Amino acid sequence: MQAATMRLNQNTLLLGKKVVLVPYTSEHVPSRYHEWMKSEELQRLTASEPLTLEQEYAMQRSWREDADKCTFIVLDAEKWQTQSGATEESCMVGDVNLFLTDLEDPTVGEIEVMIAEPSCRGKGLGTEAVLAMLSYGVTTLGLTKFEAKIGQGNEPSIRMFQKLHFEQVATSSVFQEVTLRLTVSESEHQWLLEQTSHVEEKPYRDGSAEPC
């Protein structure tokens, strides 16, 4: 896989039962994303520092343009499909990211997910977003190994990844995080395809995808 293919998702929308994944555009920054990242809880859970609006726009461009990153904004599918005139910004609940961490092995991707809206947690949105991203990573980006680094105190996220067949392989007391890993064997690939058989890939028009 060439690293540049990590940018393939810029015209891709993934439609699931609970979530819709759309590319992260500049339109998503001021209305919701920047507000989310002012939360001390989210900063702690994502090991992030507070950014100015200008820095957040720069970060968005990085996720959009860098060859080693792939990110989707997570939308609430029910809200996006059933509310007349609903915008992507009004349906945003979080994001899911993949990035290449091993220059020697382009088949390894680190995955992160954030469900930023408290009312949307514990409902399976993060699980479906991660499954869709894993499937996209395997089938489109050519990844076969995934890692997730999660704060030791974030037990719901650790349990979610373990349910998705990730195994804990390391603990860092310095960074207070655990590393979980999934190697996609033939049987794991088949399981992943079964779990995401309902997810539809559709063309995305920058910032103007209409609900179905």
pLDDT of 6 reads 56
Q: How many domains does the chain have?
A: 1
Q: How far apart are CA 28 and CA 164, in angstroms?
A: 28
Distance, in Å, from the CA atom of 200 to the CA atom of 92, rounded to the nearest integer, reads 19
pLDDT at position 181: 98
143 assigned to some structural domain: yes
Per-residue HEC secondary structure of 105-126 comes to CCCEEEEEEEECCHHHCCCCHH
**Domain for residue 175, yes or no?**
yes
Q: What is the pLDDT of residue 211?
A: 44
pLDDT along the chain (212 residues), means of 10: 57 95 79 64 62 66 71 93 85 90 89 91 96 95 95 92 97 93 97 97 67 41
pLDDT at 150: 93
pLDDT score at 188:
97
DSSP, res 199: P
C-alpha 55/C-alpha 113 separation (Å) is 20
Looking up residue 155, the CATH number of its domain turns out to be 3.40.630.30
Q: Which residue has the tokens 């989210």?
A: 42
Does residue 21 form part of some domain?
yes
The pLDDT of residue 63: 61
Q: Which domain holds residue 134?
A: 12-198
Residue 55 belongs to some domain of the structure: yes
Classify residue 49: in a domain, yes or no.
Answer: yes
How much is the pLDDT for 46?
Answer: 62
3-class DSSP state of 127: helix
Domain assignment present for 118: yes
Indicate whether 209 belongs to any domain: no
Q: What is the pLDDT of residue 101?
A: 83
Read out DSSP for 143-194?
--EEEEEEETT-HHHHHHHHHTT-EEEEEETTTTEEEEEEE--HHHHHHHHH
